[in-house]
Amino acid sequence: MFTSYTHSGFSFYDNQLPGQAIVFVHGLGANAMFADFLLRAFPKRRLLLCELPGHGQAPEPSLPVDISVLALQLARVLEEKGIFKPIMCGHSLGGQICLLAEVVRPGLADRLWLISPAGLESFSPSEIQMISSGWQMSGLFHPYVAPKYQSTLLNEPMRLPTPTVLKQYVESMMTRPVIDLLQHIHCDAQVYFGELDLLIPNRLFRPEASIPFARRTLKNWPHFHVFGIPGAGHWPMLENAKALVQNLQDHNRDI
């Protein structure tokens, strides 16, 4: 059973089990239900599921979205709640926020589980404008819409951010890359990409498959480890949850 509460603009679901927490941060337009795979992989672990402002049951953001500010706020909430050295797990936007949280609060996490993380590429002003405008065009990003599924974790209706808030998130993701901040991250970081991911890197500007891109981008950082999830695109937890769960279990036998 999960206890839910709101804190500092975030909505949280906490199963309140003893021991080290796994903190999950979802991707853009998603919510805490996307953490089903963690319950399957680690059913006896404490799970703290975070919903970002404007998503799920979290209130609308009171200020324009800045994901670096959200990362700092999340780190502060964890400290206030006495959640020390959690495993930070994030998908896409959530992975970018987990990385930023570790940058602004070095030593925050015991390790990072980054699933299809955003933030590993930089964009020019013209590219940012094109992506920001294109996101609102139904045809351009149609292939990147998450598959429909029924969560077994929470009985919560999907609630997408408003168009204004969605645009703010997209623009903040583009202007807050973490690629130039990786030297500030010293914990173990496991990066999981679907082998069929069409979203990262952005194919409009970089025609490179996700796994080679990630390995090339992270090759100078030996504590970053890249793993491929076969048969999955940008949402491995939906498209091949079995393989993602098995990978997480295999690479984290020490927890």
Q: What are the pLDDT digits (tens) for 30-49?
A: 999 999 999 999 999 999 99
pLDDT at 119 (0 to 100) = 97
pTM (whole model) above 0.95: no
Structure tokens at 119: 């933030």
For residue 226, the cross-strand partners are 191
pLDDT under 70: residue ranges of the chain: 134-158
* Contact of 51 with 58, CB cutoff 8 Å: yes
**What pLDDT, on the 0 to 100 scale, is given for residue 139?**
43
pLDDT digits (tens, 9 = 90+) for 213-252: 999 999 999 999 999 999 999 999 999 999 999 999 999 9
At 138 the pLDDT is 42
Residue 27: predicted pLDDT: 95
Could you tell me the CA-to-CA distances from 188 to 114, 172, 255 in Å, in that order? 11, 26, 13
Distance from C-alpha of 211 to C-alpha of 195, rounded to nearest angstrom: 6
The DSSP code sequence of 43-83 is TTSEEEEEE-TTSTTSPPPSS---HHHHHHHHHHHHHHTT-
Dist CA 212 CA 208 (whole Å): 7
- The pairing of strands 21-25 and 87-91 is parallel
Backbone phi, psi, residue 210, to 5°:
-65, -45
* Tokens 């941060």 -> residue: 25
Domains of the chain (ranges plus CATH)?
3-250 (3.40.50.1820)
